[in-house]
């Protein structure tokens, strides 16, 4: 009888922004494939619910409250991961926030700094911590949620677009720098996915929304978080062992228009 091997057996994976949406789906998909999952989110109640569901389904997980812009929280995240499961093997940088679709003429310094702190600064800090752990433990894998906003100019406001473009550069640079150290870094770029990320908006800019809506008609349908999770699973597994420094769109063909 053929024995089905779990794709992430005994791997330790941190997933940020894992209390809902794509992060939740990724955490669940990783756990089903044998990973020990750290469910990280500012929403600790939601994170605990995800972790408990994973355990009810026979997986291993624990929840931890993490503000990814807080250095102490980041240090605690990796410390608790090592204490509970051992050193991390896979880091999924999924946490992110939207801007208010403000064009550059309307963006405030406060909003710009906030969006960059969450979407870019935290990715660098978490990646920096993970890479140094990987170097001591024969490698590891980083998977970044880029968004099609990181590939094109007509999918969000100025701050979000710029913040995600920066993560594209960070992803590629990290992949190149550590390619001979058994460390891989890739990104997935979701298009229109049904999540609650818009709840991070505090008031949409009318002009910005009007401009961004000009291309929405070419989107065939909205995607599901579970569909994105399958790509994140591939990128986190050894099946993608020769994929490095790549940003893979998952948008149902939206950006092929």
pLDDT at res. 1: 42
120 or 5, which is more confident? 120
Question: Does 6 fall in a domain?
Answer: no
- The model's confidence at residue 153, banded by pLDDT at 50, 70 and 90, is confident
pLDDT at res. 2: 47
Question: Does 108 fall in a domain?
Answer: yes
pLDDT at res. 198: 55
Per-residue pLDDT tens for 186-213? 999 998 777 655 555 567 776 566 666 6
**How far apart, in whole angstroms, are the C-alpha atoms of residue 231 and residue 239?**
11
Nearest alpha carbon to residue 146 among 164, 171, 124, 126: 164
Span 12-32, mean pLDDT? 97
Percentage of the chain lying above the pLDDT 90 cut: 76
Percentage of the chain lying above the pLDDT 70 cut: 88
Question: Does 172 fall in a domain?
Answer: yes
Its pTM stands at 0.92
Helix/strand number for the chain, H first, E second: 8, 7
pLDDT at res. 194: 75
160 is catalytic: yes
Average pLDDT score over the chain: 91
Which residues are CB-contacts of 15 (< 8 A; sequence separation ≥ 6)? 23, 26, 27, 30, 37, 38, 39, 40, 92, 94
Which residues are CB-contacts of 110 (< 8 A; sequence separation ≥ 6)? none
Question: Does 2 fall in a domain?
Answer: no
Residue range of the domain that includes 21: 12-256
Question: For residue 169, is pLDDT > 50?
Answer: yes
Considering just the CA atoms, what is the radius of gyration of the chain in Å? 18
How many alpha carbons lie under 13 Å from residue 93 in its C-beta half-sphere? Answer: 34
Span 32-40, mean pLDDT? 98
Per-residue pLDDT tens for 214-242? 655 566 667 899 999 999 999 999 999 99
27 or 148, which is more confident? 27
- The model's confidence at residue 5, banded by pLDDT at 50, 70 and 90, is confident
Question: Does 86 fall in a domain?
Answer: yes
Q: In the 3-class helix/strand/coil scheme, how is 61-128 assigned residue by residue?
A: EEEEECCCCCHHHHHHHHHHHHHHCCCCCEEEECCCCCCCCCCCCCCCHHHHHHHHHHHHHHHHHHHH
Q: What is the CATH number of the domain that holds 97?
A: 3.40.50.720
Question: Does 5 fall in a domain?
Answer: no
The catalytic position among 160, 178, 242, 257 is 160
Residue in the structure block whose two tokens are 């931890």: 64
Question: Does 4 fall in a domain?
Answer: no
Question: For residue 81, is pLDDT > 90?
Answer: yes
How many domains does the chain contain in total?
A: 1
- The model's confidence at residue 71, banded by pLDDT at 50, 70 and 90, is very high
pLDDT at res. 38: 98
């Amino acid at each position: 009888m053929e024995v089905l091997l779990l794709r992430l057996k005994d791997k330790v994976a941190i997933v940020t922004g894992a209390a809902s949406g794509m992060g939740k789906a990724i955490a669940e998909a990783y756990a089903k494939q044998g990973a020990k999952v750290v469910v990280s989110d500012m929403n600790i109640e939601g994170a605990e619910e995800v972790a408990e569901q994973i355990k009810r389904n026979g997986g291993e997980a624990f929840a931890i409250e993490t503000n990814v812009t807080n250095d102490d929280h980041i240090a605690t995240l990796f410390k608790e991961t090592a204490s509970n499961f051992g050193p991390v093997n896979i880091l999924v940088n999924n946490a992110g926030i939207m801007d208010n679709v403000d064009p550059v003429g309307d963006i405030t310094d406060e909003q710009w700094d906030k969006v960059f702190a969450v979407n870019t600064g935290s990715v660098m800090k978490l990646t920096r911590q993970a890479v140094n752990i990987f170097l001591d433990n024969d490698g590891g894998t980083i998977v970044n949620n880029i968004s099609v906003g990181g590939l094109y100019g007509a999918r969000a406001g100025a701050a979000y677009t710029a913040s995600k473009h920066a993560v594209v550069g960070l992803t590629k640079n990290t992949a190149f720098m550590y390619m001979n150290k058994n460390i891989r870094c890739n990104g997935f770029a979701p298009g229109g996915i049904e999540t609650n990320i818009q709840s991070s908006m505090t008031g949409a800019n009318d002009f910005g929304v009007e401009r961004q809506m000009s291309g929405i008609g070419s989107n065939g349908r909205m995607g599901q978080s579970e569909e994105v999770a399958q790509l994140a699973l591939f990128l986190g597994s050894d099946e993608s062992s020769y994929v490095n420094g790549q940003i893979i769109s998952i948008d149902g063909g939206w950006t092929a228009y």
